[in-house]
Structure 1
Amino acid sequence: MLLPPSFSLLVLGLGSTGCAVADWALSHLGDRVSSVTVYGGASSSRDDAIRALEARGARCVVGTEDVQGSYDVCVASPGISEFSPFFRSAAAASCQIMGEPEFAFRLSPERWCAITGTNGKTTTTALVQHLICASGMAATAVGNIGTVSVGAVDGRCTGEWFVAELSSYQLATTSGLHPRVAALLNITPDHLAWHRSHDNYARAKLKLFANMDEDDLCIVDGDDPGIAACASEVYVADRRVLRVSFEDPGTVDAAFVRDGMLVVRLGGEEIELIARDELQLPGRHNVKNALVAACAALACGASPAGVRQGLRSFAPLEHRCQPCGSIDGIRFVNDSKATNTDAVMKALSAYPDDRVIVLLGGHDKGTPLDEFASYVVEHAAGAVCFGGARERFRRALEEADRTGDIDIAEADDLVDAVDVARSLASRGDIVLLSPACASFDQFSGFEERGRAFKAYVDQLRATLESEE
């Protein structure tokens, strides 16, 4: 399903996505786009963005979510829920409504490799791009990873792959999106306020595969309970699905670990890659991410030699179990991207032989904590609960710790949490920032939180070194 040869465009939202879509449209005004209208929403206050867009010919409307007029195409920013009155008003005024990745796909539908899942999306997306490029091919990482897809459309070179990290928000409104290679990493409860239910959230994720068939390759974690619960919608007739597991599932298309080696089987042909301990990425979950990325890259045409080299050279991304150095023999790790409980459990599992003091807290998402608290008590030596969520997390941990095996403490904010964690840690321990919460009680996002953590660790190290 392509876009009309010429169309009027409505854009919802004045954030980075909305502005990128409006910018593309204004660059094609009079060519493909007949008019550009941007609705900022009831509380929008981006005067600088509005002036810049209006100077280029856009009509901007703020202070209301009651969309007036008639439009051929509407592109909604991912922060605007499909269940919101704002979205419904725009849909009623538009012939078609979609998210930005769908819009970009319709403009340039060739060679898309898409990645989604509750956790691990960004690492896997970056790794797929890295492996393709290590094979001498062109690839650009787009989508939720930070580069808005539509902004990369006009500059695509011949044969270039778009490796797209897609969130549930972005997938919820897709209809024509058809990647040739796609991976679903896992499904655990998240973003329930936006989707209104876990079932809606899971269905949004599953839309990734909706238009894929036996000529494409769908990749899934064959061990993930959330994916298994949706098996009837994943493993359907005339769809080629590759299962990733630690054990060989015995299928024609598979990826697994055998005798410590990462192995991919495509169409019955096995490709032995590298030893598991050659990966720089820590943790069992990253072994799965590496297998998924290898499958995706090979399906895109990457060479086995390029994939092997890329797997060995890829280092952890910022804010994802990122080492931040040591102070007095205590190692500090920045996992600020862990904004839900499942991500924290995966992070803790990456350090099975270490004593870990984990920093938990921030803006509370209200997710259930019983199972999570039991896991933390079993796998961490200490926990420091900070920020807006600290009391609820502390209570959950205390209820789970029936034998007093874990040190549990509270802190006002992130800096205080680091200080408290240092008092609980000994030489050889790890202080792990893996908060299980959003950051909006103190920071603009997980990136700012992670950099503040690293900056404070650097400050402490410099102060101690100056005193020696």
Structure 2
Amino acid sequence: MSLADVFSLLVLGQGKSGLDVARWALAHPERVSATTVYGGGTSEPNDATRALEAQGASFVYGTEQVEGAYDVCVTCPGISEFSAFFKAGREHAAQIMGEPEFAYRLSPQNWIAITGTNGKTTTTSLTDYLLKAAGEASVAVGNIGEPPVNEIDGRAHNEWFVAELSSYQIATTAELHPRVAVLLNITPDHLGWHKSHKNYALAKIKLFENMVDDDLVVIDVEDAGIHEFDEYIYTPGRRICKVAFDEPEGADAAFVRDGKMVVRLKGVETQLVATSELKISGHHNVINALCAATAALAVGADPEGICRGLASFQPLEHRVEPCGEIDGVRYVNDSKATNTDAAEKALTAFPDDDVILLLGGHDKGTPLADFARVVMDNVRSVVCFGDARERFTAAMDEADVDGDVDIAQADDLRDAVDVARS
């Protein structure tokens, strides 16, 4: 259902994307007749909301009980579609959607959409970087930076939106139609929002729903979590490029042959750079680079420009990021690895090194047995710190059946570094 020429707007939540939607609405009175924001049950006024109120938006604080009738409801991603707040928005509006869907309906740019439990930001950044290196007009949007609604005004319709999208954002789409969609991996996450792993996975796969024969779905076929949902992915008429280190079959594939990255689209192969030329480390980043290069090639970007981009792209902050060397010891920051799957992939990026792992942070309650075994196979020592150190330590002790790994504890990261150096 398209947006009316003029519509009334309800926004649920006063997070960044919600307030940005309200700002867009206030800047376009020719499209939006009235803007009302319900902040949520614990919401209170702040400087940002007061500024929007002064410009004409109506704010309702401290409640999830919605009143009135609206043409369009845009919901912030933190509000689960299973929540009473979301249901209230749906009951009081003719249409409900997330911010990316809202931006797409207003201005259907050419979209490359990237999702997955891990690796989204690196792959989104790299895809945008490759397009720019090849002389294409593009902008990275979504979780990686600016909400798409902030970028739609004044953009040419041939400019590419490279969007990092979470499961929350995809779940609240209906018409979003990317020309290329990338699914990197699926591991259990955000179960509080989605209520089940299947709901979470199907939200990711929903990204492909409106794609047609001329579009391209790019999938890491090495990922076991994706294979669990093959029946929902491999549907008639859907064009899929299989990505793996070893060459997959099919007219559309991306892989490594004789140390060089190769992308095959509609049976035509393009040889790119050697994996040794990449500045991002690890098997998982080779896969990320293959996915990004495939997306760029699929939309017609120049292969030489893509090669220049692949060879010059630098690691992102907090993602297997080299931080320097002290007394012959290299320090690597991978603090963005906030789940076990991401941490495992980072560990396997250093197969020939003596690794000391500093392991800490918030305890998500994730099962640790399989992860602990990977740690034992890849490190010399592990220092557990922070709130979860006791549970991490217990899992490491249980996995260290041969007693080959030194396991220690620390109060915080600074203390953990001191313990590791001692």
TM-score bucket of the superposed structures, by smaller chain: over 0.9
State whether structure 2 residue 366 is matched by structure 1 residue 363: no
- CA deviation vs aligned residue, 1:180-214 (integer Å, no higher than 9, x gap): 11100000111111111111110110011111121
CA drift at 1:46: 4.2
Equivalent residue letter for 2:234: Y
SS of match in other structure, 1:153: coil
8 Å CA contact retained: 1:14, 1:46: no
Match of 1:336 in 2: 335
SS of match in other structure, 2:387: helix
State whether structure 2 residue 3 is matched by structure 1 residue 3: yes
Unaligned runs of 5+ in 1: 424-468
SS of match in other structure, 1:388: coil
Match of 1:454 in 2: none
Equivalent residue letter for 2:40: G
CA–CA distance in structure 1, aligned partners of residues 127 and 339 of structure 2: 24
CA drift at 1:45: 2.8
Match of 2:409 in 1: 410
CA–CA distance in structure 2, aligned partners of residues 382 and 274 of structure 1: 35
SS of match in other structure, 1:37: strand
State whether structure 2 residue 106 is matched by structure 1 residue 107: yes
8 Å CA contact retained: 1:14, 1:49: no
The ranges of structure 1 where at least 4 consecutive aligned residues each deviate by more than 3 angstroms after the TM superposition are none
CA drift at 1:166: 0.3
Equivalent residue letter for 1:145: I
Relative to the length of structure 1, the TM-score reads 0.89
- CA deviation vs aligned residue, 1:95-130 (integer Å, no higher than 9, x gap): 111111111111111310000001100000000001
Match of 1:75 in 2: 74
SS of match in other structure, 1:174: coil
Match of 2:35 in 1: 36
Report which stretch shifted further, 280-289 or 156-165.
156-165
State whether structure 2 residue 188 is matched by structure 1 residue 189: yes
State whether structure 2 residue 259 is matched by structure 1 residue 260: yes
SS of match in other structure, 2:330: strand
**Identity across aligned pairs (percent)?**
63
Equivalent residue letter for 2:143: N
CA drift at 1:333: 1.0
Relative to the length of structure 2, the TM-score reads 0.98
Match of 1:132 in 2: 131
CA–CA distance in structure 1, aligned partners of residues 375 and 172 of structure 2: 36
SS of match in other structure, 1:331: strand
SS of match in other structure, 2:289: helix
Match of 2:59 in 1: 60
CA–CA distance in structure 2, aligned partners of residues 337 and 153 of structure 1: 29
Match of 1:149 in 2: 148
Equivalent residue letter for 1:323: P
CA–CA distance in structure 2, aligned partners of residues 44 and 327 of structure 1: 46
**Aligned residues between the structures:** 422
- CA deviation vs aligned residue, 1:343-375 (integer Å, no higher than 9, x gap): 000000111111111121211111111101111
Match of 2:122 in 1: 123
Match of 2:346 in 1: 347
CA drift at 1:158: 4.7
CA drift at 1:155: 3.1
Equivalent residue letter for 1:191: H
State whether structure 2 residue 26 is matched by structure 1 residue 14: no
SS of match in other structure, 2:388: helix
Equivalent residue letter for 2:402: T
CA–CA distance in structure 2, aligned partners of residues 213 and 243 of structure 1: 17
Mapping of residues 415-454 of structure 1, within 5 Å: 415-423=414-422
CA–CA distance in structure 1, aligned partners of residues 154 and 283 of structure 2: 37
Match of 1:295 in 2: 294
CA–CA distance in structure 1, aligned partners of residues 134 and 68 of structure 2: 49
Match of 1:211 in 2: 210
CA–CA distance in structure 2, aligned partners of residues 94 and 209 of structure 1: 26
CA drift at 1:12: 1.2
CA drift at 1:273: 0.5
Equivalent residue letter for 1:415: R
Cα distance 1:223–1:170, how it changes in 2: closer, same or farther (>3 A)?
A: same
RMSD of aligned Cα (Å): 1.0
Equivalent residue letter for 2:17: T
Match of 1:466 in 2: none
Cα distance 1:214–1:376, how it changes in 2: closer, same or farther (>3 A)?
A: same
State whether structure 2 residue 87 is matched by structure 1 residue 51: no
Equivalent residue letter for 1:178: H
